[in-house]
Amino acid sequence: MELSGKIIQVLEARSGVSQKSGNNWMVQEYVLEYNTGNSQYPRRLFFSIFGEDKINQFNIQAGQEYRVSFDIDAREFNGRYYTDIRAWNVVPAQAGAAPVVAPVAAPEAPVGPAPEPADPVSDLPF
What pLDDT, in 10s, does the model give residues 105-116? Answer: 444 555 555 555
Considering the chain, what is the average pLDDT of its residues? 83
Instruction: Look at residue 18 and tell me if it is in a domain.
Output: yes
Instruction: Look at residue 39 and tell me if it is in a domain.
Output: yes
Of the candidates 60, 70, 99, the residue with the CA atom closest to the CA atom of residue 3: 70
Please give the pLDDT value at position 104: 44
Instruction: Look at residue 113 and tell me if it is in a domain.
Output: no
Please give the pLDDT value at position 84: 95
CA 82/CA 75 separation, integer angstroms: 5
Instruction: Look at residue 23 and tell me if it is in a domain.
Output: yes
CA 55/CA 78 separation, integer angstroms: 30
Q: What pLDDT band is residue 75 in, cutting at 50, 70 and 90?
A: very high
Counted domains in the chain: 1
Instruction: Look at residue 103 and tell me if it is in a domain.
Output: no
Of the candidates 43, 2, 53, 44, the residue with the CA atom closest to the CA atom of residue 23: 53
Report the phi/psi class of residue 38: left, alpha or beta, with left for phi > 0 and alpha for psi in -120 to 50.
alpha
Lowest-pLDDT choice from 19-23, 54-58, 93-97: 93-97
Please give the pLDDT value at position 94: 78
Range of the domain at 23: 2-94
| Residue 22: pLDDT over 50 | yes
Burial state string for 85-94 with b = 16 or more CB within 10 A and e = fewer than 16: bebeebeeee
Looking up residue 73, the CATH number of its domain turns out to be 2.40.50.140
CA 35/CA 19 separation, integer angstroms: 40
Q: What is the pTM of this model?
A: 0.70
